[in-house]
Amino acid sequence: MKDPDVVVVGAGADGPVAAWKLARDHGVDVLLLEAGPFFGNEEWPEPHVDSGGTVSTDPDDLDGKLLDEQFTHREAEANDPTYGYLRVGPSNSARAPWFRNLHQNAFIWQVSCVGGTSIHYFSNHPRGYPTAFNDQPHWPDEVSYADMVPYYRLNEELTSTQQAPMTAREEVFIEGASEEMSGEYPLLDGLNVTETGWRPQPNAVEVPGKETATGEPLDSDYEGSFSYDDGFRGDTLVGDHFQGSSTPVDAPVREKARKSSNIGYVPRALDTNDNPDVGNVAIRPNTYVTDVHTAEGAGNLEATGVEIRDTWSGATQTVEADTVVLAGGCIETPRLWLNSGLPDDGWVGKGLTTHWFDWVVGVYDDETVADINPEREHMDPYVGQNSAVRFDKPGVGGLEDIGMSPGLVSFADYLFTEAGYSFDTPVDPDEPWDTRGYVVGKELKQRMADYRNTKAILVLTDDRPRQENGVSLDDTFSDEHGPVPKVRWEPHPDDDERRDELARIAANIHRNAGASHVHRSEWPPLLLHMQSSMRIGKVLDFAGEAKNVDRLFVADHSALANGVGGPNPTNSGQANALRIADHIGDRYF
């Protein structure tokens, strides 16, 4: 596509959403650029060792079996921050990842590829809390929760979002949370959450079904195939989403059960090329945008295009467009903005939120689990969707029940903390946990020996945007794209207070369910749910257009005005991208 109307920078969770909407509903030709590789596309059969094609415009380029080969389900091969296929770095895996200067005990967890960080997400699609839109001053008045709901509904329909299935692990959480069992919270049965309670996760995953296409019952006695070619459809209950997830195996890309944006939106975006009545979408991976070009307009500067660099060849090129949409995420979008020398009134890159996570671990006896699940002795954290049940407390945040494979569990449960080593870390006897901090040595091995009856509850705090948290340009390190991002996030005491409250609720849920040991990991900052570093209301107007640069929009999670109260941001980010795409169409096309 030589002459796009719109360039969208970044094909992560949100870029393909905006691209599809612009082409499908506004007749706009979109060039979607992505710095990382394109998995599951025949144009790039070996995305880590060969530069492959240049651009994909044909939905027939998508190949589900190729995706199966690339997403191996193996943990280190997927998740290792340096060599994993889901790292943030150039497609050429012989090269080091892209460096970010992080001067603290913290971890940034992102993925660079078509689909972005939604490639390893748990597919949790709750809506933001209405109170975070209507009652927090961070949101501009022009956008209310009611304005967001139609876009939530559309996004949920497109991504098959529905209530997650409850398996053995979730039943233990429900035992501890539900007032009808041993807990104290009501079941919430709606998508718009204004009260405190527990509920199944709204997940962007097709349901497992109760029988196969050949009529076999789908329950714990099922011994048949999980292959699409053998007639299996829907979710296969594998907890491997952080490895990329490509199930059912053999399924076409668009029929993989979990709707990361490469599944939920990219096929639809490419379908526009087969429809003469709408605009077109071309996707170009391996392309890093290094500069946003502008011209003097009547008032503000006006975006005119971008400078790109091929990550394999190093070749550079200018792409002109009527409108530029930044969707590189909360770190790359402000970095590109700052490296482009665009105006900064003090909030570019600032106000970053990350849900000030924590992690509270429960270890259970076999007998306890068997009492709750009479047919089983183990919770088996690798069975079921990675997170299928949650707790919500609007104004404070939420909790999620989590199951993962053991490498990820060992890191998250016992090897990521700001509290020091458990052998030196005292526990306040009034607190509902037995240990906290790093667990190492013999105790680590003992704990991991209980892996199949261990589960964690993730704390997602409603942290509020503050100017000192965020992304700036580093003044020590540069790479081929300019100064690297320098990232900083520290909690406010109010955030700490909300996090402590949620951690206590999580520990008590474990206690109510009968956990024999409760451990608080006390995480340092994990920059995973990043939001609001290019906030509407500050850097952007309510439509997502830069206040100081015309025809320049931001349509990724960085445009969110706050952390939407704590719930996972993908649904909100994508709904907002749909909303912004409509405004782009209305303003300029």
Partner 1 sequence: MTEHSDTSMTRRGVMKGVGGLAAVSMSGAGVAEAQEILGQDVPADPHTRDTYRAIVDAIVPRTPELGEELGEEHVPGGLDVELEKFLIWDFNHFQEVRLETLQTPIETARVGGGPLGGLGDGNPLEDTLGGLTPGDEGGEDVPVVDPVLELVDGLMAPELFQLDLDTISSGSELGALADLAGLDAVGELTDLLAVEDVDEFGELLDFGAADRLAIDFADAPIPEDAEGIAEFDLLVEAGNEVTQRVIQNYPYANVFPFVFDIVAAEFLLRGENEDTPSPNPEFAGGGTFVRLSREDRLRCLWKIVDGGVIDRLDGILSPMLPAVGILKFVVMAVNGLHGFGYYTEWSGLGDTKTATPSEREMQVDPGAVQSRTQTDYPGPADGYAADWRHAVDGGFDDDWETGETPGPVDGELPDEAADDAEGVPGGEAE
Three-state DSSP at 209 gives: coil
Could you count the other beta carbons within 10 Å of the beta carbon of residue 136? 18
Is 510 within 8 Å of 433 (Cβ atoms)? no
Residue ranges in 312-331 that form contacts with partner 1 under rule CB under 8 A: 314
The amino acid at residue 97 is: P
486 three-state secondary structure: strand
Q: Shortest gap between Cβ of 302 and partner 1 (angstroms)? A: 21
Which CB sits closer to partner 1, 179 or 421?
421
Q: Does 168 bind partner 1 (CB under 8 A)?
A: yes
Cβ–Cβ < 8 Å for 432, 504: yes
Binders of partner 1 in range 230-289 (CB under 8 A): 232-234, 236-238, 240, 243, 247-249, 252, 254-255, 267-268, 271-272, 275
For residues 471 and 349, the answer to whether their CB atoms sit within 8 Å is yes
Candidates 296-304, 305-313, 383-391, 428-436 — which segment interacts with partner 1 by CB under 8 A? 383-391
Is residue 151 a contact residue for partner 1 (CB under 8 A)?
Answer: yes
Nearest to 136 by CA among 127, 145, 149: 145
Q: Smallest distance from the beta carbon of 34 to partner 1, in angstroms?
A: 20
- Does position 189 interact with partner 1 (CB under 8 A)? The reply is yes
99 binds partner 1 (CB under 8 A): yes
Rank residues 160 and 508 by Cβ distance to partner 1 and give the closer one. Answer: 160
Candidate residues 296, 429, 430, 476; the one interacting with partner 1 per rule CB under 8 A: 476
The number of beta carbons lying within 10 Å of the beta carbon of residue 197 is 19
Which one of residues 477, 496, 497, 587 is an interface residue with partner 1 (CB under 8 A)?
A: 477
Q: Which of residues 530-569 bind partner 1 (CB under 8 A)?
A: none
Q: Does 401 bind partner 1 (CB under 8 A)?
A: no
For position 441 contacting partner 1 by CB under 8 A, the verdict is yes
Interface segment toward partner 1; rule CB under 8 A; list 19-27, 29-37, 113-121, 505-513: 19-27
Query: 168 — phi, psi (to 5°)?
Result: -60, -35
Instruction: Tell me how far CA of residue 543 lies from CA of 145, 223, 337, 540, 573, in angstroms.
Output: 15, 51, 18, 7, 13
**CB of 43: closest distance to partner 1 in angstroms?**
18
Q: Among 185, 357, 359, 382, indicate the residue that binds partner 1 (CB under 8 A).
A: 382
Q: Tell which residue, 288, 275, 333, has the closest CA to residue 487.
A: 333
Site for partner 1 contains 452 (CB under 8 A)? yes
Q: Compute the distance between CA of residue 284 and CA of residue 61 in angstroms, rounded to an integer.
A: 13
Burial pattern 440-459, b for ≥16 Cβ within 10 A else e, equals eeeebeebbeebbbbbbbbb
Give how far the C-alpha of residue 143 lies from the chain's centroid of Cα atoms, to the nearest Å: 23
Contacts of partner 1 in 341-360 (CB under 8 A): 344-348, 350-351
Q: Is 226 in the site for partner 1 (CB under 8 A)?
A: yes
Give the binding range for partner 1 (CB under 8 A) out of 117-125, 359-367, 472-480, 543-551: 472-480
Nearer to partner 1, 199 or 355 (CB): 199
Does residue 248 have a cis bond before it (omega within 30 degrees)? yes
Distance CA 114, CA 82 (A): 19
Residue 410 CB, shortest distance to partner 1, in Å, is 4
Contact set for partner 1, span 33-92 (CB under 8 A): 46, 48-49, 72-77, 79-85
Query: Helices 570-588 and 15-26: crossing angle, nearest 10°?
Result: 40
Q: Does 428 bind partner 1 (CB under 8 A)?
A: no
103 binds partner 1 (CB under 8 A): yes
CB of 55 to partner 1, least distance (A): 21
Q: Per CB under 8 A, does 375 bind partner 1? A: yes
310 lies in the binding site for partner 1 (CB under 8 A): no
Nearest distance in Å: CB 482, partner 1: 5
Quote the radius of gyration of the chain (alpha carbons, Å): 23
How many residues bind partner 1, per CB under 8 A? 169
Rule CB under 8 A: is residue 485 a binding residue for partner 1?
Answer: no
CB of 146: closest distance to partner 1 in angstroms? 5
Among 55, 131, 134, 207, binds partner 1 (CB under 8 A): 207
Q: Which helix (H) or strand (E) holds 399?
A: strand 397-402
For 317-330, the DSSP string reads: EEEE-SEEEE-SHH
Q: Which stretch binds partner 1 (CB under 8 A): 197-205, 363-371, 392-400, 426-434?
A: 197-205
Question: Residue 93 or 196: which CB sits closer to partner 1?
Answer: 93
- Pick the closer one to partner 1 by CB: 179 or 320: 179
Residue 370 interacts with partner 1 (CB under 8 A)? Answer: no
CB 282 within 8 A of CB 32: yes
Cα four-point dihedral sign 506, 507, 512, 517: positive
Gap between the Cα atoms of 323 and 320, Å rounded:
9
CA atoms 407, 408, 413, 414: torsion sign = positive
For partner 1, which stretch binds (CB under 8 A), given 6-14, 110-118, 144-152, 281-289?
144-152
- All residues at 6 or more sequence positions from 259 whose CB lies less than 8 Å from its CB, including other chains: 123, 158, 159, 160, 161, 204, 205, 206
Kind and range of the H or E run holding 145: helix 145-158
Rounded to the nearest whole angstrom, what is the least distance from the CB of residue 509 to partner 1 in the complex? 15
**Residue whose tokens read 């650029």:** 33
Contact assessment for residue 383 and residue 168, using Cβ atoms and an 8 Å cutoff: yes
Contact between 421 and partner 1 (CB under 8 A)? yes
Can residue 141 be called a binding residue for partner 1 (CB under 8 A)? no
Q: Which is nearer to partner 1, 150 or 426 (CB)?
A: 150
